[in-house]
Amino acid sequence: MPKKQLPFKYELGSMVLASLIGTFLDLYMVGKGYYQYPLRPFPEIFSINIGFTLIVLPLMTLIVLRTIEHLTNWGKIGVILLVSLLMPIFEKLTEMLGWFTHTEDWKHIYTVFGYFLFLTIVLAFHEWMRKGIR
């Protein structure tokens, strides 16, 4: 009998990578004092929002990967750029809700470039996994 394969094995690896990158970047940025999470799960243990890095970020990555799966390279870049441009809006919303705060000198353009680079790396890894694992 042939082995049953995980139907989303490529996405799973990309989601784990996204979670790892997000966790390490959050630890670095919070440690340097660029931003903080006033409301987060287990605040006495974690200085970052592990709910975001372990649940929201991987699920967001899965949605983006599934959305751009059948697009051309230009379409993929367009979607990644659109998502990156939307992230400062979500940041502002989380700031208004009290879930997230930045230092005074933070520029939201950092978020645009950061998410663009982040999603580009995760997409490159995802496509490498799809081509390499058969």
Residue 104's pLDDT is 87
pLDDT at residue number 7: 60
Quick one: pLDDT at residue 111?
Answer: 94
Tokens of 15: 């989601």
Q: How many CB atoms lie within 10 A of CB 78?
A: 13
Report the candidate in 84, 92, 19, 95 with the shortest Cα–Cα distance to residue 57.
19
Q: What is the pLDDT of residue 6?
A: 62
pLDDT of residue 134: 52
pLDDT attached to residue 10: 78
pLDDT value of position 124: 95
The residues of the chain scoring below 70 in pLDDT are 1-7, 133-134
CA atoms within 13 A on the CB side of 24: 6
Q: What is the pTM of this model?
A: 0.88
